[in-house]
Structure formats: C-alpha cells, structure tokens
Amino acid sequence: MNGFLEQLETINGKVNGFVWGLPMLILLVGTGIIMTILTKCFQISHFKHWIKNTVGGIFSDSKVTSHTAKEDMQISQFQSLCTALAATIGTGNIAGVAAAIASGGPGAIFWMWIVAFFGMMTNYSENVLGIYYRRRNEKDEWCGGAMYYLKDGLGSKKGCKQIGAVLAVLFSIFCVIASFGIGNMSQVNSIAINMDSAFHIPTFVTGIILMVIAGLVIVGGLKRIASVTEKLVPFMAVIYLIGAIAVLVVNFSQVGAVFGAIIKGAFGLKAVGGGIVGSGVSLAIQWGMKRGVFSNEAGLGSSVMVHSSSNVREPVVQGMWGIFEVFADTIIVCTLTAFAVLSSGLVDLNTGAVISDKVSTALVAEAFSTVFGGFGSAFIAIAILFFAFSTVLGWSQYGGKGFEYLFGRKAVKIYQILFVVFILVGATMDLALAWDLSDTFNGMMAIPNLIGVLALSGTVMKITKNYVDRKLKGQDIKPMLSAIDSIQEIHEKEMKENSSL
C-alpha cells in the first residue's frame, strides 16, 4: 500500500506542479468571470431553476433518465452527465485536495470554491455552444465539442475562417494525445500499483484484466460506455460521499473551526503553516485555484464532447447540466474530502500546518482511518480504483471524438483498439514522462477552447436570453436551438459563389 501511496503523491505533484502559470489561471478564471457577467450570474440568479431541471429532474422528469431507442445513437441527459463525471471525478478529488491543503493551507479550499463558482459558467458556456453547433455524422451520431464551435462558430466570423479551422485541428490533436496519458496510462498505472501493493496482484495481470474489461465497454461505443457510467458513477460517488460524511459526522464539533480556518487562511488572517501572512495567502490562492481548475476541468473543453451527444434540444438545458457537473465535482466531492481531512485532527487549524507526516492520498487515508480504523486506507484504495477506471472510460470517448474529427468516423475503431492496448502498457511502465507530456497537452486543450468561448460569448448570451425570455418570462419568440441551418446556408452560398467563378 505504501508504494501505491508514494506513487500517487509523485503523480499528484506532477499534476499540480504542471507548467500552467499565473497567465493560464487568469485566462481560465477570467473567462468564467466574463461569462458570469454576460449571463447575469445565471448560476445564482436561476439557481432554483437549474437545480430543478438537473438533479431535480432525475426524480421528477422521466425524460431526463429515459434511454433512447437502440437504433437511436443519442444518450440521455443523465447518461451524458455520468459519462462526463466519470472522466472528471478522479484521483485528484482525493489526492489533489489533500495536496492543496498541505501546500496552501485550509485557505486553499476557499479559492477552490471561487474557481468552481466561475467555472460553472465556463462549463455552462461550453455545453451551450456544444449543443448549438453540434452536427450528426454518417452514423447519425451527434458530434459536438470545441472543434465544431471553433470551426463553424469562430470560423463563421469575418476573417476568422482559417484561424477557426486551425484551432479546431489543434484542439483535436491535443485531446487525442492527452487521452492516452492523463485519460489512460496514468490512471491504469495508479490502479495497477494499488492492486500490487494492497493485494499483491502483479501489474501485468491487472493490466490484462483492465484491458479486457475496458475493451468490452469502449469498443461498444458511447451508448455502452454511457450505460456503464450511469451505474458506476452514482455508485462510486455515493459510497465515497457516505464515507466522507461519516468522518465529518464523527468530528462534527470541529465543523465551525474548520470553516473558520478556511476563511482566515484564505485572507491571511492567520499564518499558513507558520509562514508569513503574505506568503500564506499567495500559496492558498495558487493551490486553491489549481485544485479547482484540475478538479472540474471547466475551460478545457473536454466534457462538452459527451454532453453534446445528449438527446436534449435546448442548448441551455445541457448548459445547466454543465453547471451541475462542476457543482458536484468540486463543491460537493472536493469539499467533503477537505472537511474530512481538516476535521480529523491531522491539520492544525490555527496555523494550517499538517501535523501528520503523511501527504496527498496518504493524508486522506489517515483521516478516514481515524474513524474506520485499518479499513480507512483500504476504503480510499478501492475508491481510487473506481475513480481511476471511470476516468479511463470517460476519456476514451473524448479522445475518440477528437480522432473522429481528424480522420473520420470509420477511423475511430483504430483509436479504440490503440486506446485499449495502451491500458496494458500503462499498467507496466514508468509513467514519469507520460504524465509530464499528457498534462501539458491536457492543458493546451484549454487555449483554443477558451479562445472559442470568448469569441462566441455573445452567442452564449443571446441563447441564454432567448431561453430565459421563453421559458421563464413566457414570451412567444422563436427558440435558438441549433446553428446547423444557418451554417448550411453559409456553405451553400459559398458553393454557389465558387461555382460562378
């Protein structure tokens, strides 16, 4: 078990020590701030509405969870959420939060919340654009994502046709490369080390088993992936949350002190880890923002590729699922992890210093062990097993969509076979270089995606206003549901102009 924990600590250090600097964080958070302003703080002003139409709809609206016909290549709204969460909720929700606390103090959690608050509207905007600019391929599957709103959205603006097409290709390339690293080999390697350390199962045996199981799911396409994730994600999330809540309940008397330490640490009212106040605030902001960004992936343009396959027609409806995705991943899962650690007595709430000599995942395991005894470490190991494998399934769809954009739908099978083979590679190799490269390309996905979101922010604002006017204010106006018709008109006009030359 110790070898597994040490490996995860090293991996997490690479993720959070990733080359993204302050400019990238400013771009990510700044985009969220801009979209929050343009949509009139939709995540707050219409909180009741989006809760009712997302998680509330699971229990009250059969359309949210109902499966499409076998021949229909769409997936349900709930399946799209679960597939997106499968890729989003991962080891970072455990190891990353603990590392943020250890390096930035309790105050890092406050800044994680801030990033998540604005990230909700970045993710909302991505999904609105994903539905609005999606198209069907020759198999009648929906294809959407940053590559499509870059090419057809940004590319439709005057003088931007070439830049839109180039950015779409770059995004797809970065996505495919990242899927083999952060979405495959690194996750499988974590599982393999876990199985070897906890149960003495050789890594190649784990690799073969995972390759077979994943192959049966991934080669079956999105509908099979979605059918698995809609069962796996709720199960793994609920089990983990029950464990975290149990730790919190046992240490309930510390909740007030924990919240106070988070607020004080965020603004330097008390020193972090015994350091000077200015340094403490800087670390809290830096680690909190990084944790928020890497946890929910808002701004990377990844989950929109799955959300775009939903059977929903309204762009804003799927956008609201994007808000809930960030809310569930960061505000709920990461927050409960943080409170479990901070309330366990392993962190000095007055200074923010970690009392335990454990870090990263080991720190969370020790926090759970204060309540569950020896089972605490096993519980975290099992949680990581589910979290990491679900990430593999989710990212296989992301990389597949990027590959399809570059080489066509028929070539996707080649990608799926390669992706499954690399599972065995990931289980048995040293992944130091793979982590560095995959994290780099994962981050590089954000650059073209955010350019597209900002360039099309006016479109997001118009679609949102149109929805609010129709659905909430009862105005009788034409809905803005898809850009396909207008794009087709543009293409036909270009063909006529070319034929006349």
CA atoms within 13 A on the CB side of 261: 25
404 within 8 A of 145, measured Cβ to Cβ: no
Residue ranges of domains in the chain: 2-54+78-500
Q: Is it the case that residue 359 has pLDDT exceeding 80? A: no
Phi/psi for 106 (5° steps) reads: -55, -30
Diameter of the chain by CA atoms? 78
Residue 491 confidence (pLDDT): 53
CA 290 – CA 298 distance, rounded (Å)? 12
pLDDT tens digits, one per residue of 322-353: 998 889 888 888 889 888 888 888 887 777 77
Between 431 and 122, where is the model more confident?
A: 122
Q: Is it the case that residue 7 has pLDDT exceeding 50? A: no
- Please compute the mean of the pLDDT values over residues 260-284 and round it to a whole number: 61
Which CATH fold would you assign to the domain 2-54+78-500?
A: Amino acid/polyamine transporter I (1.20.1740)
| b/e per residue 284-315 (b: at least 16 CB within 10 A) | bbbbbbbbbbbbbbbbbbbbbbbbbbbbbebb
> How much is the pTM?
0.83
**Residue closest to 423 by CA, chosen among 212, 221, 225, 211:** 211
Phi/psi for 347 (5° steps) reads: -125, 130
Q: Is it the case that residue 434 has pLDDT exceeding 80? A: no
- Dihedral through CA 236, CA 239, CA 242, CA 247, nearest 10? -90
pLDDT tens digits, one per residue of 38-75: 999 999 999 999 898 888 877 666 665 565 555 555 66
Between 65 and 97, where is the model more confident?
A: 97
- Please compute the mean of the pLDDT values over residues 165-190 and round it to a whole number: 87
Q: Which residue has the tokens 């005057």?
A: 158
H or E stretch covering 448: helix 446-455
CA 368 – CA 376 distance, rounded (Å)? 5
